């Protein structure tokens, strides 16, 4: 079971491992983390304890709802987890613990009840302040044990609440009342109680949630996530979050965990010279994807494998090792590779269903790219070559090669041929094998003329 826990500083990874050894521990959650988790993995469950909120955008409600809508259960307790669970429990997020309950029931409302300052990851996110929640509930326990009066409890809570969250601590609180005559008989017993008990409601709630998750881990599978009380509706803000959060590449081995996001890549292409073509190519892929999705055309395994072979052949990926290395270089995941093949097949279907219309648009596409003049010149040179040869179609004798030699040249120059040559020729759009061979021989003759005869035949 893939259980992911966002935590720090409430608990250490070692403490979590003692309760749920199989848990995958992640740093405090921030905006986009839950979304990436759902997109990059298939989590059995997501547990949120701690989260960033000050210098880093906090985890959004929408991405938690997205996870729930995909059937991934989300749990929250203690800190940021308790806050989000109190806001989203009606939609399926499961909250655990006293702090969650106080927020859910409206007894607590301010976010700073659970806020603390802490050190960097290198320090284990070591807390440098005490949460108001821990102070409140610690004082409440002291009152119940008769160590302080309820009046003293209220006074101390008021002082703690008026203190900036980063400055809150037991010592700071005691220092505020050390000279107050009202606390002359209560301060030292309270100080001793806090030192002995070390009340930490956030930690207690986090451990309670982990114990609950451990019980679930003992099951053969997690129960289905509760059905959401509303339909998940994307919006322009959701699209922006997707673009900001979705990784398109990760270079952890090269740069210590540097990820490239979709929006960062898109900004780069706004200025790149080839950016407009890439964007228009992406638009074409989108239209193909929508077309393929709407048609839901079933694809046989053999058809899919044939498309994979052609994809590899066009990129000169002759072995499985070549293909694997290429995919790693492109940061291409297995789902992305399958989507690319589906899109290639959708494009093939368009070409097969509308050959005349597509053929009529080729000159316009070349003009859009700025390649029409060069392409037209090459075609004219080929026609001139045939006229000079006094024929309309070259033969093997004309070029002085055997069929095997011609095919070897073609595969070394263009791409390898997979399967029968007639099927291959048809896949390129030729009406016959003879037409395909004639064009190949023409290419060979043009490529092997002397520089003087060849003139400007090469495309530049």
Q: What is the pLDDT of residue 262?
A: 67
Contact 38, 57 (CB under 8 A): no
250 found inside a domain: no
Q: Are 187 and 336 contained in the same domain? A: no
Beta bridge partner(s), residue 260: 249
Decide if 267 is inside a domain: no
Q: Where among 146, 176, 199 does a domain terminate?
A: 199
DSSP string, 276-290: HHHHHHHHHHHHHHH
The DSSP secondary structure of 309-368, one letter per residue, reads HHHHHHTT--SHHHHHHHHHHTT--HHHHHHHHHHHHHHHHHHHH-HHHHHHHHHHHHHH
- What is the distance between the terminal CA atoms of the chain, rounded to a whole angstrom? 56
Residue 117 has pLDDT above 90, yes or no: yes
Residues 76 and 182 reside in one and the same domain: no
Is there a single domain that holds both residue 111 and residue 208? Answer: yes
Statement to judge: residues 59 and 162 lie in one domain:
no
CA distance 231 to 90: 13
pTM of the model: 0.60
Q: Is the dihedral of CA 326, 328, 334, 335 positive or negative?
A: negative
pLDDT in tens, 340-399: 888 888 887 777 777 777 777 778 777 877 888 888 888 888 788 888 888 778 889 888
Residue with tokens 């008990």, as numbered in its chain: 197
CA distance 67 to 35: 7
Q: Is residue 252 part of a domain?
A: no
Task: Tell me: do 116 and 134 sit in the same domain.
Answer: no
Does any domain span residue 253?
no
In a shared domain, residues 286 and 394: no
Residues 41 and 118 in one domain: yes
Same domain? For 187 and 210 the reply is no
Closest by Cα among 227, 233, 205, 259 to 32: 259
Helices and strands in the chain, H and E counts: 24, 7
Distances (CA, A) of 40 to 245, 246, 249, 250, 352: 11, 9, 11, 12, 35
- Report yes or no on 269 lying in a domain: no
What is the C-alpha to C-alpha distance for residues 250 and 253, in angstroms, rounded to an integer? 9
Q: Is 39 exposed, middle or buried (0-12, 13-18, 19+ CB in 10 A)?
A: middle
Q: Is residue 251 part of a domain?
A: no
Based on the fold, state whether residues 286 and 337 are members of the same structural domain.
Answer: yes
Q: Are residues 323 and 232 in the same domain?
A: no
Do residues 22 and 3 touch, judged by C-beta distance below 8 A? yes
Q: Which two tokens stand for residue 351?
A: 């070409």
Q: Which residue has the higher pLDDT, 96 or 328?
A: 96
pLDDT grade for 254, boundaries at 50, 70 and 90: very low
Q: What is the pLDDT of residues 147-183, one digit of tens each?
A: 999 999 999 999 999 999 999 999 999 999 999 988 8
Identify whether 180 is part of a domain: yes
Residue pair 243/266 in contact by the 8 Å Cβ criterion: yes
Domain match, 345 and 207 both: no
User: How many domains does the chain contain in total?
Assistant: 4
Tell me the residue range of the domain where 424 lies.
Answer: 374-454
Q: Are 75 and 85 in contact (CB under 8 A)?
A: yes
87 with 236, same domain: the answer is: yes
């Amino acid at each position: 079971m893939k259980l992911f826990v966002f935590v720090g500083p409430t608990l250490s990874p070692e403490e979590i491992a003692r309760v749920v050894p199989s848990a995958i521990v992640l740093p405090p959650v921030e905006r986009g983390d839950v979304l990436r988790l759902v997109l990059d993995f298939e989590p059995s469950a997501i547990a949120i304890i701690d989260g960033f909120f000050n210098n880093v955008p906090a985890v959004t409600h929408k991405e938690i709802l997205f996870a729930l809508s995909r059937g991934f259960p989300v749990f929250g307790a203690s800190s940021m987890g308790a806050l989000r669970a109190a806001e989203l429990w009606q939609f399926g997020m499961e909250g655990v613990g006293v702090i969650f309950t106080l927020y859910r029931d409206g007894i607590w409302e301010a976010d700073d009840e659970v806020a603390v300052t802490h050190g960097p990851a290198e320090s284990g996110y070591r807390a440098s302040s005490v949460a108001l929640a821990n102070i409140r509930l610690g004082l409440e326990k002291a009152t119940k044990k008769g160590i302080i009066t309820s009046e003293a409890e209220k006074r101390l809570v008021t002082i703690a609440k008026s203190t900036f969250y980063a400055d809150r601590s037991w010592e700071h609180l005691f220092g505020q009342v050390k000279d107050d005559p009202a606390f002359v008989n209560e301060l030292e017993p309270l100080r001793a109680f806090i030192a002995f008990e070390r009340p930490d409601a956030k930690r207690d709630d986090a451990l309670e949630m982990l114990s609950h998750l451990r019980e679930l881990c003992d099951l053969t599978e997690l129960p289905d996530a509760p059905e959401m009380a509303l339909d998940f509706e994307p919006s322009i803000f959701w699209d922006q979050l997707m673009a900001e959060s979705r990784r398109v590449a990760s270079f952890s081995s090269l740069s210590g965990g540097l990820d490239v996001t979709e929006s960062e890549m898109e900004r780069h292409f706004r200025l790149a010279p080839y950016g407009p073509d890439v964007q228009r190519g992406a638009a074409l892929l989108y239209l193909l994807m929508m077309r393929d999705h709407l048609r839901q055309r079933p694809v046989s395994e053999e058809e899919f494998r044939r498309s994979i072979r052609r994809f590899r052949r066009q990129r000169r990926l002759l072995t499985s090792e070549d293909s694997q290395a290429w995919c790693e270089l492109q940061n291409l995941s297995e789902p992305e590779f399958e989507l690319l093949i589906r899109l290639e097949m959708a494009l093939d279907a368009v070409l097969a269903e509308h050959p005349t219309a597509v053929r009529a648009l080729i000159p316009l596409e070349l003009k859009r790219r700025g390649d029409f003049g060069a392409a037209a010149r090459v075609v004219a040179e080929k026609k001139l070559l045939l006229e000079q040869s006094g024929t309309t179609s070259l033969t093997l004798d004309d070029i002085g090669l055997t069929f095997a030699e011609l095919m070897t040249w073609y595969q070394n120059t263009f791409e390898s041929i997979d399967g029968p040559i007639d099927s291959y020729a048809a896949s390129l759009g030729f009406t016959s094998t003879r037409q395909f061979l004639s064009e190949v021989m023409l290419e060979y003759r043009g490529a092997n003329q002397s520089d003087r005869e060849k003139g400007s035949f090469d495309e530049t």
